[in-house]
Structure 1
Amino acid sequence: MSTPGFSPKNAPATVRIDAWLWAIRAYKTRSAATAACRAGHVKLNDKPAKAAQTVVPGDTVRVRQPGYDRILEVRWLIAKRVGAEAASHCFTDHTPARPTATELGLPRRDRGAGRPTKKDRREMERLRGGH
């Protein structure tokens, strides 16, 4: 399978996990990917990953991002940053759909509805499990 900007015959034999995460556009910079690995926000096959660990096709990479975890399966190795469409062919995203606020049972206020009244605040507090 060939994708624009990427071809499997040019794929490197090994790629560091931080370089792969940068190349598929999970992080804006390689240093941000390295910092995420160092902080423990990246797991390779359910084990904390160091930035220099190599990935192989078939590996599962879990990336913690604000509010959720992204679960990616490595399809192709890529070391250089390419266009977003080409990068999307290098992994399979197994991230479950995030629940919306209404599915979580959280109250939703219309935009521009103004500041909540005292009664509204009491209801929100009761729903959150407060007093």
Structure 2
Amino acid sequence: MSDEGEGGAGRGAPRSSVRLDKWLWAARFFKTRALAAEAIAGGKVKVNDQAPKPAKAVRLGDVIRLRLGPYEYLLTVRVLSARRGPAVEAAKLYVEDPAGRARRERLAEQHRLASIAFAHGEGKPSKKERREIGRLKGKN
């Protein structure tokens, strides 16, 4: 397989487009290209407000709307790459909408606070506690 045009330094001419599933994988939103393709086919990804296919060519400046669980990302493509690199390098591939990021962080905070407010049990009752429960229910 040729490395030409992979978007890396010193390897051929820069790309003018990259497959959407490859770009999402390279930007580290998905662990595998198959998961990226599955999300695209499932309608979790929109490019310029249109439902794409996994092979859709992504270009610089495209706006990608991505829904991962309860969170929604609004990204603008800044760099094209089909090569998966470290997280620091992957973060340079896109610019996230500040309003979308704030909305996602508020939602994450709400989820965190909701889990704190939920009273977790202390495990199953001890033998002594089971006897007391039995007495309360009228069972000897």
TM-score (norm 1): 0.70
> 1:86 & 1:107 partners in 2: Cα distance?
34
Taking CA–CA contacts closer than 8 Å with sequence separation of 6 or more, which of the two structures ends up with the larger relative contact order?
1
Quote the residue 2:29 is aligned against: 26
Name the aligned partner's letter for residue 60 of structure 2. P
Q: Following the alignment from structure 1 to structure 2, what is the Cα–Cα distance between the partners of residues 105 and 18?
A: 34
Which structure 2 residue ranges, 5 or more long, are not aligned? 1-6, 124-140
Q: Tell me the residue number matched to 2:75.
A: 72
Larger-gyration structure (1/2): 2
**Superposition deviation, residue 49 in structure 1:** 1.4
**Runs of 4+ with >4 A deviation:** 104-107, 112-115
Asked if the contact 1:72/1:93 (under 8 Å) is kept, the reply is: yes
| Partners of 1:44 and 1:62 within 8 A in 2 | yes
Instruction: Indicate the residue corresponding to 2:45 in structure 1.
Output: 42
- What secondary structure does 1:96 align onto? helix
Indicate the residue corresponding to 1:96 in structure 2.
101
Decide which structure has greater helix share. 2
User: Aligned residue for 1:11?
Assistant: 14
Residue 108 of structure 1 is aligned with which of 109, 113, 117?
A: 117
Amino acid of the structure 2 residue aligned with 1:96: R
Instruction: Provide closer, same or farther for how the CA distance between residues 10 and 89 of structure 1 changes in structure 2, counting only shifts above 3 A.
Output: farther
Q: TM-score, normalised by structure 2?
A: 0.66
CA RMSD of aligned residues (A): 2.9
